[in-house]
Amino acid sequence: MTSVAEASPAARAGLAVGDELLSLNGEVPRDVIDFQRLSDAAELSVVIRRAGAALPRSVRIAKEAGEPFGVQVESAVFDRIRTCDNHCAFCFIYQLPKGMRRSLYLKDDDYRLSFLYGNFTTLTRFTELDAERILTERLGPLFVSIHTTDPDLRSAMLRNPKGATSLRWLRVLLSGGIEVHGQVVVCPGVNDGPALEDTLAGILDLYPELSSVGIVPLGVSRYSTEADMRPHSVDEAAHVLDTVHRWQRVFRRALGHPMAYAADEYYVLTARPFPTARSYRGYPQHENGIGMARAFTEAFTRRGRPGGAPAGVRPGFFAAMDAAPAEGYRSRRVLQGPGHGAAPDARPVTILTGSYGAAVLAPLVGGHGRHDVVLHEVSNDFFGGNIGVAGLLTGDDVARALHAIGAPARAGGRRYLLPDACLQEGRFLDGLTLADLPAPVEVVPSDGSSLRAALDGTSFRPGCAP
C-alpha cells in the first residue's frame, strides 16, 4: 500500500503504508478492478503481510457497503501486465531512442489497461477467460486497434499471424453488449486509399455496434528504421479527410451516427477548419487526439472552469478509482491550480507549445484582446520527423527554445507558459524537470479555460522556478 487515508476504514483497522495486500475476502485480487469490486463489501476480511513480520496478518473490517476502503496501491495490475506480441512497423515504441525511462518501452496489450486508462489493445493475446470476465463484469468501454478489416493486411501490419483472426474477439465483445471504440492508424501507402475504404466498409458490415472509430495518422520520429513508414503528404492527408467525411455520411444514414472521426492532426496538416463541437458527439476519442482542438477552443472562448474538462469529455474510469495510480501507464500531469489570492499578473506572456498546439492557439491568442502575448512554436528536435504534439516535447527542446528567445536574460519581466502535457510526474520525457530549464516557466493545464485564465493574468503561479 502506498497510502492509507486518514480516518478511513483501512486506517481504523490499523493498516499502514508498506503493508502488502495478500487477499480480500478470501480472493487474491489480480488488479484494481478486482480490488474495487471486493473492497466494496461492507464486511471485509483482509490478509496483509507487514514488512519484518514473520507471518501474514488477518484483519476484519466493518464499513458501509460502497464506502471507499481508503488505500492506494502501487500498481493498477497486481499480476503481470500482458505485453503485446506484435511488431508493428509504425509502433512508436520502436521509434524511441535508447536510454529513456523504462516504463516508456512497455508494449502493453492488456484489456485491463484499455478499460482503466483507455489504452488501445489489438486483442492478439486475448483469451476466452478474458472475454468471460469482461462480459460478466461488464468492463467497458474498451479501446481496440483495428487498423484494417482485411485479415491478411492486418497480420502484415501487426507482423503477427494472430492479427488475421484476433478481431473475432471484437465481434464477441460487441455481441455481448460491451461498449467498444476502435482506431485505425493510417500508414500512407499501406492502409490508406482503397484499403481505408475497405476498412470503413468492413466496419459497417462486421462491427456496426462500435461506438466510434478514430482515424489517426502514424507518427514518424527520426529514430524510425522502417523504410516504408513515412508521414502523410498534405494531399494524402486531404484524401483521408475526404474519405472519413464521405463515410460519416454513410454511417449516419445507416446507423444514425458518424462512427468515424479523423484526428485533429489531419485538419492541422490540411489547414482545414476543425469540425463543430456538436459533431464530436461527446468527444469519445478526445484522449486519442480527436476533437481536442475543438474542445480546447470551446473552453477557451466560453470561459469554462480552469482545470476542468471541456463539456462532454469523458474523464474515463480512472477518474472514479480511489486505488489505482496512473504512473507508468498514463501520465498524471503536474496540475498547478489557481494561485489563491495571487495578484493579477500583467507581465507580457510567451506561450511555448508544439507545432500542432501552435496551429490551434494562433487564432485564439490573436482574438484574445491582449497584444503582449507571443506564441512560440517549439520544434521537436529530440524526436524530429513529423512529431508536433506538445506531449512529446522534451526538456531539452524547451530549454533550447527558451535560450533562443532570450528568456534567461528577461526572467522576471515576462511570463513563459507551458502546457502540462509536456510533463509526466513532473518530468519531461528526457528526464529533465522544470528546475533544469534556464528560466522560470508556468505550467498550465492543457485545457482552454486554464490557458484563458492564465492569460487573464490571475490564475497560475510559476512551478519549480530555477
x/- binding map, residues 66-85, to ligand SF4, per CB under 6 A?
------------------x-
Among 91, 174, 196, 290, binds ligand SF4 (CB under 6 A): 91
Q: Which residue has the cell 464486511?
A: 43
**Closer CB to ligand SF4, residue 93 or residue 335?**
93
> Under the criterion CB under 6 A, does residue 435 sit at the interface with ligand SF4?
no
> Under the criterion CB under 6 A, does residue 245 sit at the interface with ligand SF4?
no
Amino acid symbol at 293: A
As measured in angstroms, the least distance from the Cβ of 106 to ligand SF4 is 9
**Closer CB to ligand SF4, residue 216 or residue 360?**
216
As measured in angstroms, the least distance from the Cβ of 90 to ligand SF4 is 6
Strand partners, 376: 352
> Under the criterion CB under 6 A, does residue 107 sit at the interface with ligand SF4?
yes
**Closer CB to ligand SF4, residue 91 or residue 156?**
91
Among 4, 38, 88, 439, binds ligand SF4 (CB under 6 A): 88
Residue 139 gets which letter from DSSP? -
Distance CA 31, CA 12 (A): 24
Among 53, 62, 93, 271, binds ligand SF4 (CB under 6 A): 93
> Under the criterion CB under 6 A, does residue 271 sit at the interface with ligand SF4?
no
- With b for 16 or more beta-carbon neighbours within 10 A and e for fewer, the 233-261 pattern comes to eeebbbbbbebbeebbeebeeeeeebbbb
**Closer CB to ligand SF4, residue 91 or residue 293?**
91
Instruction: Residue 64: name the closest of 39, 34, 37, 47 by CA.
Output: 39
- The x, y and z cell numbers of residue 319, run together, are 477518474
> Under the criterion CB under 6 A, does residue 374 sit at the interface with ligand SF4?
no
**Closer CB to ligand SF4, residue 44 or residue 84?**
84
Asked whether 23 and 46 are in contact (CB, 8 A), the reply is: yes
As measured in angstroms, the least distance from the Cβ of 109 to ligand SF4 is 6
Tell me the CA distances in angstroms from 233 to 3, 270, 345, 406, one per residue in order: 50, 9, 42, 34
**Closer CB to ligand SF4, residue 72 or residue 122?**
122
> Under the criterion CB under 6 A, does residue 86 sit at the interface with ligand SF4?
yes
Distance CA 291, CA 216 (A): 12
Residue 121 gets which letter from DSSP? B
**Closer CB to ligand SF4, residue 39 or residue 114?**
114
Q: Provide the greatest CA pair distance for the chain.
A: 68
Tell me the CA distances in angstroms from 27 to 30, 37, 79, 135, 324, one per residue in order: 9, 11, 14, 20, 18
Q: Which residues of this chain interact with ligand SF4, rule CB under 6 A?
A: 84, 86-88, 91, 93, 107, 109, 122
